């Protein structure tokens, strides 16, 4: 299993991943809006919800 297929957030945060130019950006955030802010900070570009996925306890699923 690829590390980008596992939850990586610290306790108290939800695991997210964002599809970036070079692959997945792994994010720990409180909610979708927080994850989008972190994705924008990491890419230096505005982020879009359609590229964000949230860990549901078993796998990542689209936030849309």
The residue extents of the domains of the chain are 3-62
* Verdict on whether the full-model pTM lies above 0.85: yes
Under 8 Å between Cβ of 4 and 26: yes
Q: pLDDT in tens for each of the 64 residues of the chain?
A: 688 999 999 999 999 999 999 999 999 999 999 999 999 999 999 999 999 999 999 999 999 8
* Dist CA 5 CA 47 (whole Å): 21
Give every CB contact of residue 33 below 8 A, 6+ residues apart in sequence.
none
**φ, ψ dihedrals at 30, nearest 5°:** -80, -35
Q: Is the dihedral of CA 48, 54, 59, 64 positive or negative?
A: negative
Strand partners, 18: 25, 52
């Amino acid at each position: 299993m690829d590390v980008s297929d596992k939850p990586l957030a610290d306790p108290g945060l939800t695991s997210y991943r964002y599809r970036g130019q070079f692959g997945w950006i792994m994010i720990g955030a409180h909610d979708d809006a927080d994850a989008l802010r972190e994705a924008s900070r990491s890419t230096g570009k505005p982020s879009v919800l359609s590229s964000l996925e949230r860990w549901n306890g078993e796998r990542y699923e689209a936030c849309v």
